[in-house]
Structure 1
Amino acid sequence: MKLCLALVLGVTLFTACDDDNGSGPDNDMNISETLELEDNLSSAYGLIDDQGLADTLSSDGPITVFIPTDTALDEEDLGDMSDEEIQTLLKYHIVWENLTFDNLKDTESVESFNGDSLYFSADSDTVTINEDQTIITDEGIEATNGIIFKVDTVLTAPE
């Protein structure tokens, strides 16, 4: 009886101390490693890897990435784009700053890795990018070298 009670108590304490919220990979991976393992981002990671940007997203950072989901990429016709155009498009989703959700609320614009600006507007619960191209509603995914925000569209610079 004492052994049974000890086992139940041990299992209860062990599971109560588990702070994994199940939202994705552990935080001990960089952005590139996290993207590779994160649900619904395999298409984006494949493009990033094909375009030689995986090493960039493994660098020390800080980096913020607004990464299109697989569904968003599937809706885009990238087949007619050159490798240079795809790389420029992907670089538009990368910022060389650590921008938390709260930082984004206080930020009007930032320069992306391709040199074009991303524009933000916010209310108390959401951040909008480029005048309603997409809306961010969560804290993103932390990695050792920055933050990843999943977006439901491929971002393009406003004209």
Structure 2
Amino acid sequence: MNRRFIFKLAGAAGLTALIAGCTPMMTANEPDIVDIAASAGQFTTLVAAVQAAGLVDTLKSDGPFTVFAPTDAAFAALPAGTVETLLRPENRDQLVSILTYHVVPGAVTSDQLVGQRLAVATVQGQNVHVDGRHGVRVNDSTVIQADIIASNGVIHVIDKVLLPR
């Protein structure tokens, strides 16, 4: 398990008040975040990145987590060679930073975001800006499929890769 990820998760804050009393029903019978991503067919790059970063066990743990999951098309829209470069072992720290920027502690569903405009702390440590006033946007990405419930959290599919500043 990636210890830095766990420490950042433990120290991350921002949605505690929002999610209190509004956590979606998750059961152990449902697949976890990694299982859903691996079987969906539209997250092959994300799954490969999670594996290369050594975050599989962490994202299979109890959580709960909210993951803003970029599609393969979102990764393909990055400048040529970016994904390949990030997947190299020598770039693991940068890859971990980018991936953990897509994860928020707690399980947050789209109905909790409607009408809200929030700066939310990610596991990576920086904030993402969530705007739920007209659909749901995270920074400059759009949630194209919301509320995929996993046994350990929620996945929201986004159309762009989020890059920490």
Where on the TM-score scale, by shorter chain, does this alignment land: which range?
0.7 to 0.9
Change (3 A) 1:51 1:137: closer
| 1:142 partnered with 2:149 | yes
Aligned partners of 1:101 and 1:138 also within 8 Å:
no
Say which SS state the counterpart of residue 40 (structure 1) adopts: coil
What stretches of structure 2 of length at least 5 have no aligned partner? 1-28
Mapping of residues 3-152 of structure 1, within 5 Å: 28-76=30-78, 77-81=82-86, 82-105=91-114, 106=116, 108-123=118-133, 126-130=135-139, 133-152=140-159
Bigger relative contact order, structure 1 or 2 (CA pairs below 8 A, ≥6 apart): 2
- Write the distance in 2 (CA, Å) between the matches of 1:138 and 1:40: 12
- Write the distance in 2 (CA, Å) between the matches of 1:139 and 1:149: 4
TM-score (ref. length: structure 2): 0.72
Aligned partners of 2:144 and 2:158 also within 8 Å:
no
Report the alpha carbon displacement of residue 79 of structure 1 after superposing the two structures with TM: 3.2
Which of 128, 139, 156 aligns to 2:163? It is: 156
Q: Which runs of 4+ in 1 moved over 4 A?
A: none
Moved more, 105-114 or 89-98: 105-114
- Greater Rg by CA: 1
Say which SS state the counterpart of residue 68 (structure 2) adopts: strand
- Write the distance in 2 (CA, Å) between the matches of 1:92 and 1:40: 20
Aligned partners of 2:144 and 2:157 also within 8 Å:
no
Report the alpha carbon displacement of residue 107 of structure 1 after superposing the two structures with TM: 5.3
Over aligned residues, Cα RMSD in angstroms? Answer: 1.7
Of all paired residues, the percent bearing the same amino acid is 29
- Write the distance in 2 (CA, Å) between the matches of 1:90 and 1:70: 14
TM-score (ref. length: structure 1): 0.74
Say which SS state the counterpart of residue 146 (structure 2) adopts: coil
Aligned partners of 2:65 and 2:105 also within 8 Å:
yes
Number of equivalences:
129
Which residue type is aligned with residue 122 of structure 1?
Answer: G
